[in-house]
Amino acid sequence: MPAKKRKRSALKRIRQTQRRTTMRTVGRSAARTAVRAAREAIAKGGEAAADVISAAASALDKAAKRGSIHKNSARRRRGRIAKAAAKGKKKT
C-alpha cells in the first residue's frame, strides 16, 4: 500500500506541533529543575538560597508564559517555594 499523500497545510501543522511540543517540554523541564534546586537550597539554608529561589520563580514564570504549565500552577508553586523559604528563615 503506497504512503498517503499529505497536504502542505498538514505538513506545516506537523512541523508546528513538533516545535511547540519541544519548546514546552524544555520549559517544563527547566521549571522542574529550578524548583528542585530551590527546595534543596532551602533545606540546606544559607544566603545563596535567595538567588536560587528567584531563579526558580523566573523559570516558573517563563514556563507559564510559553504555555508549558498553567499560570495558576506556576503561581501556586512560587507561593509554596516562598512559604518554605520563609519557614526556613524562621527556624534559623
Nearest-Å Rg of the Cα atoms of the chain is 19
For residue 61, the Cα-to-chain-centroid distance in whole angstroms is 7
Residue 43, in any domain of the structure: yes
Give the separation between CA 71 and CA 28, rounded to whole angstroms.
Answer: 12
Residue 55, in any domain of the structure: yes
Residue 59, in any domain of the structure: yes
pLDDT at 92 over 70: no
Q: How do residues 62-81 score in pLDDT, each as one tens digit?
A: 999 999 999 999 999 999 99
> Which residue segment(s) compose the domain that 50 sits in?
9-91
* CB 50, CB 61: distance < 8 Å: no
Residue 32, in any domain of the structure: yes
Residue 17, in any domain of the structure: yes
| pTM, rounded to two decimals | 0.82
Region 18-34: mean pLDDT is: 96
What is the distance in angstroms between the CA of the first residue and the CA of the last residue of the chain? Answer: 71
Residue 2, in any domain of the structure: no
Residue 3, in any domain of the structure: no
Q: How do residues 38-69 score in pLDDT, each as one tens digit?
A: 999 999 887 888 999 999 999 999 999 999 99
Q: How many domains does the chain have?
A: 1
Q: What is the CATH number of the domain that holds 78?
A: 1.20.58.110
